[in-house]
Amino acid sequence: MSTTAFHEPLALLPHDVLRLGDAHGLSLSSAGGTLWITVDGEDRDIVLRPGESIRIDSHADTLVSPLRGPARLAFGH
Protein backbone atom coordinates (compact mmCIF):
# COMPACT_ATOMS: atom_id res chain seq x y z
CA MET A 1 0.00 0.00 0.00
CA SER A 2 1.34 3.43 -0.92
CA THR A 3 0.37 6.74 0.62
CA THR A 4 0.57 10.19 -0.88
CA ALA A 5 1.92 13.07 1.18
CA PHE A 6 -0.02 16.14 0.08
CA HIS A 7 1.43 19.65 0.24
CA GLU A 8 -0.43 22.48 1.97
CA PRO A 9 -3.58 23.16 -0.11
CA LEU A 10 -3.39 25.97 -2.66
CA ALA A 11 -6.36 28.36 -2.73
CA LEU A 12 -7.86 28.96 -6.18
CA LEU A 13 -10.36 31.75 -6.79
CA PRO A 14 -13.04 31.82 -9.49
CA HIS A 15 -11.48 32.40 -12.92
CA ASP A 16 -8.02 31.23 -11.73
CA VAL A 17 -6.34 28.75 -14.06
CA LEU A 18 -3.31 26.89 -12.71
CA ARG A 19 -1.03 25.48 -15.44
CA LEU A 20 0.87 22.50 -14.04
CA GLY A 21 2.62 21.60 -17.29
CA ASP A 22 3.82 17.98 -17.27
CA ALA A 23 2.14 16.71 -14.08
CA HIS A 24 2.91 13.03 -14.73
CA GLY A 25 2.82 11.07 -11.47
CA LEU A 26 1.29 13.93 -9.49
CA SER A 27 -1.72 13.20 -7.27
CA LEU A 28 -4.32 15.97 -7.17
CA SER A 29 -7.02 16.26 -4.51
CA SER A 30 -9.81 18.70 -3.72
CA ALA A 31 -9.31 20.01 -0.20
CA GLY A 32 -12.41 22.16 -0.54
CA GLY A 33 -14.71 23.19 -3.36
CA THR A 34 -14.97 21.58 -6.77
CA LEU A 35 -12.04 21.46 -9.18
CA TRP A 36 -12.08 21.15 -12.98
CA ILE A 37 -8.99 19.45 -14.44
CA THR A 38 -8.13 19.08 -18.09
CA VAL A 39 -5.17 17.25 -19.59
CA ASP A 40 -4.19 18.33 -23.10
CA GLY A 41 -5.13 15.72 -25.70
CA GLU A 42 -7.46 13.72 -23.44
CA ASP A 43 -11.07 13.18 -24.51
CA ARG A 44 -12.60 13.96 -21.14
CA ASP A 45 -12.22 16.50 -18.37
CA ILE A 46 -12.07 15.56 -14.70
CA VAL A 47 -14.22 17.05 -11.92
CA LEU A 48 -13.03 16.54 -8.34
CA ARG A 49 -15.35 17.16 -5.44
CA PRO A 50 -14.09 17.67 -1.86
CA GLY A 51 -12.13 14.64 -0.68
CA GLU A 52 -11.72 13.14 -4.18
CA SER A 53 -8.28 12.53 -5.71
CA ILE A 54 -6.77 11.53 -9.02
CA ARG A 55 -3.27 10.61 -10.19
CA ILE A 56 -2.12 12.16 -13.48
CA ASP A 57 -0.73 9.55 -15.88
CA SER A 58 -0.05 11.85 -18.84
CA HIS A 59 3.01 13.96 -19.69
CA ALA A 60 0.80 16.55 -21.46
CA ASP A 61 -0.06 20.03 -20.13
CA THR A 62 -2.47 19.85 -17.19
CA LEU A 63 -4.74 22.75 -16.19
CA VAL A 64 -6.68 23.11 -12.92
CA SER A 65 -9.42 25.62 -12.20
CA PRO A 66 -12.13 25.98 -9.55
CA LEU A 67 -15.65 25.17 -10.69
CA ARG A 68 -18.55 27.15 -9.21
CA GLY A 69 -16.65 29.27 -6.69
CA PRO A 70 -13.37 29.12 -4.81
CA ALA A 71 -11.61 25.80 -4.20
CA ARG A 72 -8.46 24.40 -2.62
CA LEU A 73 -6.07 22.07 -4.43
CA ALA A 74 -3.82 19.66 -2.57
CA PHE A 75 -1.12 17.87 -4.53
CA GLY A 76 1.68 15.41 -3.90
CA HIS A 77 3.62 12.47 -5.24
Domain ranges of the chain: 28-76
Task: Write the pLDDT tens digit of every residue in 13-50.
Answer: 999 999 999 999 999 999 999 999 999 999 999 999 99
pLDDT band of residue 12 (cuts 50, 70, 90) is very high
How far apart CA 44 and CA 34 sit, in angstroms, is 16
Burial class (CB in 10 A: 0-12, 13-18, 19+), 10: middle
